[in-house]
Amino acid sequence: MKVLVTARSFGSADEKAQKLLEENGFQVKKLVAADGPINEQLIREIVDADAIIAGLEDYSAELLKTAKKLKVISRYGVGYDKVDIQAAKARGIAVTITPGANGDSVADMAMALMLSAARNVSYMDNCIKDGNQQRPTGVEMFGKTLGVIGAGRIGKGVAKRCKGFSMDILCYDTYQDEAFAQETGAIYVDFETIVKEADFITIHSPLNEETKNMFNKEIFQRMKSKAVIVNTARGGIIDEDALFEALKNGEIGAAGLDATVEEPPYNSPLLELPNCTITPHAGAATYEASSKMGFMAAQNILDIIQKGKCIFTVNQ
């Protein structure tokens, strides 16, 4: 049986996941950019694939029609907005995720972006390398107010880290975890309260109709003038045109984005701004997360093909 791998960092930490698949009779074929555009390779290879360990490429209804043998798309991560879930379900293709595997790595990345954006680290580094030293004035994180949009595993992880900075924690989520609130002193509030009171906002929500352009022109106008916003979730939750204007005009202080609408965002006007730090959706790019996600994605494939079910299936 054939397993395609499109996730770039699969196997970069160790060979545990690949060995697990091979020991269970699977032939593993990893698609790499050196052999041409991944999407073009995927069109050719998906025809006879039994399973895919999927990165961030699109799996449209049209593409899935050609996947005659495909039984499972095992997402290497937790987001699945790039997969046409209904089309997959209609064709009997399970879609699975790896919750929790990259939580610590993404939470660390959110902290890194908050600190970098608050203290202009990337900008100063670029200036030094260009031979043009600059010392822009930043803001402190210690003792400030953090707003968490989506207090799941990753959002909670960021909140726990921010307690080390003696920050007050505000959370916006449909589910309220009382044990977490007691542990961290977090307070669950409505969205508007976070918009008005948070000095730092970190986004950890899925992209859906409710969250699309959640942060827009009107919201930025109601945020604090030195507020820092960080997105390590999905592009599209922030209206990037509105963010550009808000940063350019000083309506908010800074932004750190590990997720953008277009990835990579080479044509984004946000790249022109010194107060916007952008990274290439690399929150999960650690050896530890790669190992955990790879093994979990491989195990999800085995569960679907050998047992007919997986507890991490999102389109049952």
C-alpha–C-alpha distance, residues 234 and 193, integer Å = 22
Among residues 69, 44, 56, 45, the alpha carbon closest in space to that of 97 is found at: 56
119 flagged as catalytic? no
Q: How many CA atoms lie within 13 A of 116 on its CB side?
A: 20
Do 134 and 161 meet the contact criterion of CB atoms below 8 Å apart? no
Distances (CA, A) of 93 to 61, 67, 72, 233: 11, 9, 5, 25
C-alpha–C-alpha distance, residues 258 and 233, integer Å = 8
Catalytic residue among 40, 62, 218, 263: 263
Axis-axis angle for helices 103-119, 153-163 (nearest 10): 50
Catalytic residue among 57, 119, 234, 240: 234
176-180: long-range contacts, CB 8 A cutoff, minimum separation 24? 177/151, 180/151, 180/156
Amino acid, single-letter form, for residue 300: N
Task: Tell me the sheet residues that pair with 230.
Answer: 202, 256
C-alpha–C-alpha distance, residues 136 and 176, integer Å = 39
Residues in the chain: 316
Catalytic residue among 75, 119, 204, 281: 281
204 flagged as catalytic? no
- In sequence order, the 6+-apart residues with CB closer than 8 A to the CB of 275 are 117, 120, 123, 247, 253, 254, 255
- In sequence order, the 6+-apart residues with CB closer than 8 A to the CB of 13 are 287, 288, 290, 291, 294
263 flagged as catalytic? yes
Q: Which residues are catalytic?
A: 234, 263, 281
